A and B are shown apart, each in its own frame.
Chain A
Amino acid sequence: MITIALPKGRTLRPTLDRFARAGLQPEEDVAQTRRLIVPARGGTARFVLLKDPDVPLYVERGAADLGVCGLDHLLESGADLLSPLDLGFGKCRLCLAAPRGSAVARGWASGDSGAEPGRSLRVATKYPSLAARAFARRGVPVDLVRLSGSVELAAVAGLSDAIVDLVETGNTLEENGLVAVEDLLLVSARLVVNRAAYRLKIEELLPLLEQLS
């Protein structure tokens, strides 16, 4: 029996389609049911439904053998996992964005971080670890504000000078008067596998990995 961690978010549909093509389907519609664990038809596997950022930890700690999560959550979690497949859907960018016309938007490209003189750049994000690494690499001191949602609001309401967040079409940024200043990471959905499961359940996993690719 293998346990598969599914992300509840916007990549749930394409993820289910991919598993269906590989011959694994939940026995009831996971988007409708209130059950958190749904067996696959045929009883060879089961699906657990998780908030997207929780997928890497479930798989790393072996509560699930494999899972699907965005590269953003995989890297942010720091989880020690195998990531054998880029599933190709869920494409978006992790961007540094700031209010249009702000000091950050005007100065970033020429090396001026846009922070007020004598202060670190204030950046709001759901990705504190990735953001810290990106700014450290660029030599920019930052004051990170960790939020759990509506990140755009932070820059609009003056909580921060800029934000680091996922951008799919750019419409949300636009509507809030923000512009993308730099792309920090190209994101897509990855298949992640627990390190021990890859060794101990390889006979069950290999055919599935081949069909998913």
Chain B
Amino acid sequence: MNGLDASFEQRPFAAPPQGTQDLLFEAARRLRRCEAALAHLFEERGFAEVIPPALESAEVFALASPHGEASALRAVDRHGHLLALRADFTAQVARIAATRLARVTPLRLYYRGSVVREGVAETGTPRERLQAGCELVGIEGPEADAEMLDLAAQSLRVLGLSGSAARIAVGNVDYFSALIESAGASARLARSLTDAIDRKDLPTLAGLCNREIEPGKAREAILLLAHPPRQHSEASALLARARDVAPSARAIAALERLSKVLAGARGASAELEVDLGEVRGLGYYTGLVFNLYAAGAPRAVGGGGRYDGLLGKFGDPRPAVGFSLDLDALVPLASPA
């Protein structure tokens, strides 16, 4: 013992690996109740369950996004194949939809289970996260975006989180891409802008814009992105202001699309807020993007968006939109009906 108290004796097998947990009794019961409430809602809305394997070819996550593969926990099997623990359900569901289900349109799929990502342990995000989520494949129009926003809001409601206890921040990444295109920004500048917008860091954003972007509509529109969000009811004013400075047809189309989606998702209006600076999401999002917040959780408890380019990487170029919920963050807050 070398004088060390027995409390500090090393027993590596005693606790589960860092960032994972054992769920016992009431914790397990609560998780299952939440899963059941969500599965019931998803089935009611016409979604069918798929259960992809816990182990996946690492390439599936690499195809989906370079970042996705980097955060996956990988291992080489005895045949020399590079495998990964499931790091992202959407990539797996896209693989299934694009291969075995390529001829079925539209597709409404849901899943539940755990994903494993190598994150930064200090920030308190667990390595193994329990998730449930939905994907809608094959519908390009804004009505599909609205359907998924509405379902996301309804998901929080069946967990007992609604009104002021829940918030869904909605944006459109294609609007930002259109502004970057109009501004002629390099990839390096685009990354710096994205970072400043994501942190609502107006001083840094203004500095970057003044130094590196020509005066004009694109610059004005980019500066508007770090401004505070507007609730659903006041969104039209924000969108009108953005429209006045929209520098291109693509930017205008992205704003119009967002207006249509918001009009279609009226059922979720109590929780929705519009934030054109909502640029955070998975690398494969191409249009609508949203993040879910719940009172009592210090960070987002889920999110989603449109990913029209992902299925094409698996050989079936179809549009899709989806979202997932982090159940480990939600279960302690939830009171499912």
Assembly CA distance A209 to B165 (angstroms): 22
B300 at the interface (CB under 8 A from A): yes
B158 at the interface (CB under 8 A from A): no
Interface contact A80-B200, CB-CB below 8 Å: no
CB distance from B156 to the nearest CB of A (A): 12
Assembly CA distance A85 to B202 (angstroms): 7
Interface contact B298-A78, CB-CB below 8 Å: no
Interface contact A200-B229, CB-CB below 8 Å: no
CB distance from A89 to the nearest CB of B (A): 14
- Per-residue CB contact flags for chain A residues 49-86 toward chain B (1 = under 8 Å, else 0) read 00000000000111000000000000000111111111
Closest to B295 in A: A200
B123 at the interface (CB under 8 A from A): yes
Contacts of A206 in B (CB 8 A): 228
Stretch touching chain B among A16-24, A148-156, A191-199: A191-199
Interface contact A202-B298, CB-CB below 8 Å: no
- Contact flag A196-B200 (CB < 8 Å), given A62-B298, A79-B123, A202-B228: no
Contacts of A85 in B (CB 8 A): 202-203
Assembly CA distance A48 to B120 (angstroms): 26
Assembly CA distance A60 to B299 (angstroms): 8
Report the tally of A-B residue pairs with Cβ distances under 8 A: 60
CB distance from B200 to the nearest CB of A (A): 4
Interface contact A200-B298, CB-CB below 8 Å: no
Assembly CA distance A196 to B199 (angstroms): 12
Interface contact A78-B200, CB-CB below 8 Å: no
B128 at the interface (CB under 8 A from A): no
Assembly CA distance A199 to B122 (angstroms): 23
Assembly CA distance A206 to B300 (angstroms): 20
Contacts of B226 in A (CB 8 A): 84
- Per-residue CB contact flags for chain B residues 281-306 toward chain A (1 = under 8 Å, else 0) read 00000000000011101111000000
B49 at the interface (CB under 8 A from A): no
Contacts of B140 in A (CB 8 A): none
* Chain A residues within 8 Å of B, Cβ to Cβ: 60-62, 78-86, 193-200, 202, 206, 209
Q: Which of A80, A193, A196 contacts B123 (CB 8 A)?
A: A80
Closest to B202 in A: A84
27 contacts between A and B (CB under 8 A): A60-B298, A60-B299, A61-B124, A61-B298, A78-B122, A78-B123, A80-B123, A81-B199, A82-B201, A83-B200, A83-B201, A84-B201, A84-B202, A193-B200, A195-B293, A195-B298, A195-B300, A196-B293, A196-B294, A196-B299, A199-B167, A199-B293, A200-B293, A200-B295, A202-B228, A202-B273, A206-B228
Interface contact A195-B299, CB-CB below 8 Å: yes
Interface contact A196-B297, CB-CB below 8 Å: yes
B164 at the interface (CB under 8 A from A): yes
Assembly CA distance A107 to B201 (angstroms): 37
Interface contact A83-B228, CB-CB below 8 Å: no
CB distance from A5 to the nearest CB of B (A): 13
Contacts of B153 in A (CB 8 A): none
Contacts of B164 in A (CB 8 A): 200
Interface size of B by CB at 8 A reads: 24
Q: Which of B122, B200, B203, B294 contacts A198 (CB 8 A)?
A: B200
CB distance from B264 to the nearest CB of A (A): 22
Assembly CA distance A86 to B300 (angstroms): 25
- Per-residue CB contact flags for chain B residues 98-127 toward chain A (1 = under 8 Å, else 0) read 000000000000000000000010111000
Contacts of B203 in A (CB 8 A): 85-86
Contacts of A81 in B (CB 8 A): 199
Assembly CA distance A78 to B119 (angstroms): 12
Closest to B291 in A: A199
B169 at the interface (CB under 8 A from A): yes
Contacts of B169 in A (CB 8 A): 199
Contacts of A86 in B (CB 8 A): 203
CB distance from A71 to the nearest CB of B (A): 10
Closest to A79 in B: B123
CB distance from A212 to the nearest CB of B (A): 12
Contacts of A195 in B (CB 8 A): 293, 298-300
Contacts of B124 in A (CB 8 A): 60-61
Contacts of B299 in A (CB 8 A): 60, 62, 80, 195-196
CB distance from A76 to the nearest CB of B (A): 11
- Per-residue CB contact flags for chain B residues 158-192 toward chain A (1 = under 8 Å, else 0) read 00000011010100000000000000000000000
Assembly CA distance A209 to B200 (angstroms): 12
Interface contact A194-B298, CB-CB below 8 Å: yes
Assembly CA distance A180 to B200 (angstroms): 33
Assembly CA distance A155 to B274 (angstroms): 52
Contacts of A193 in B (CB 8 A): 200
Q: Which of B120, B123, B165, B200 contacts A84 (CB 8 A)?
A: B200
Interface contact A199-B202, CB-CB below 8 Å: no
Contacts of B229 in A (CB 8 A): 199, 202
Given contacts A78-B122, A199-B167, A202-B229, 10 further A-B contacts (CB under 8 A): A78-B120, A83-B200, A194-B298, A195-B300, A196-B299, A199-B273, A200-B164, A200-B165, A200-B293, A206-B228
